[in-house]
Amino acid sequence: MADRIVGLNAVHAILAALLHRERTGEGQAIEIPMFETMAQFVLGDHMAGRSFEPPIGPPGYSRLLSPDRRPYQTSDGYICALVYSDKQWNAFFAKIGLAEEADRDPRLNSISARTRNYDFVYDWFSQMMKTRSTAEWMRFFEEADIPHAPLHDLDGLIDDPHLAAVGLIQSLEHPTEGTLRVAGPAATWSRTPPSIRTYPPNLGEHGREILHEAGLAETEIAALIAEGALIEPGSC
């Protein structure tokens, strides 16, 4: 997780620096420290009362830290769901037969009450989730227009019908490894859409080509191969 997050932050910083250079002609040095990047990533949510000097409370976003704020166990599996707005909560209450406020715990009856009682609300919700199957809740949330998704294992994610419909998992033929399946780019561009144009290379497959593009002569490349600094496909 840290490697990927810091890598993405590096991309953002480099692109911003390239834009600055394009506008001003001025280059600059960039440092992307891993610890500081991850600390900022976490504390963006969790400064809370420590945002003030002197502090007005402890750190931590209580909703995210609630022990039941996680995928919910159903009678036969798990499901991810987020009942968030008053509209969604009212639709949920109507579906389970608690449309009248008098029939509910007061801590459930408004967004302000729920905000003050996150631990109670998510515990109550998690107990409710255990009363029906995953398939029942999926239909239920679809009808109530409540954000939801099944909790995938890795096989379920690879075989997810939505990912199949949008073509994220793509197949390509490799000359030595046969048919491969790879996850393609998730983002889309209206004018310059990315695509997977070639198979994953074998060890050293494009080394000679890259060095030619970098300006090295054939004799220099041959010397690198002789020294073992460049490995050509099939040589190991």
Instruction: Check whether residue 52 and residue 74 sit in a common domain.
Output: no
Instruction: Check whether residue 74 and residue 53 sit in a common domain.
Output: no
Q: Is residue 192 part of a domain?
A: no
pTM recorded for the entire structure: 0.75
Q: Is residue 194 part of a domain?
A: no
Domain end point (choices 97, 132, 151):
151
Q: Is residue 220 part of a domain?
A: no
Q: Angle at Cα 201 formed by Cα 197 and Cα 207, nearest 5°?
A: 110
In total, how many domains does the chain have?
Answer: 2
Domain end point (choices 151, 177, 200):
151
Domain that holds residue 7: 2-59
Please state the separation of Cα 204 from the chain's center in Å: 31
Alpha-carbon span 101 to 55, nearest angstrom: 37
Instruction: Check whether residue 43 and residue 13 sit in a common domain.
Output: yes
pLDDT in tens, the chain (236 residues): 999 999 999 999 999 999 999 999 999 999 999 999 999 999 999 999 999 999 999 999 988 999 998 999 999 999 999 998 999 999 999 989 999 999 999 999 999 999 999 999 999 999 999 999 999 999 999 999 999 998 999 999 999 999 999 999 999 999 889 999 999 999 999 999 988 988 888 888 899 999 999 999 999 999 999 999 998 887 66
Instruction: Check whether residue 6 and residue 22 sit in a common domain.
Output: yes
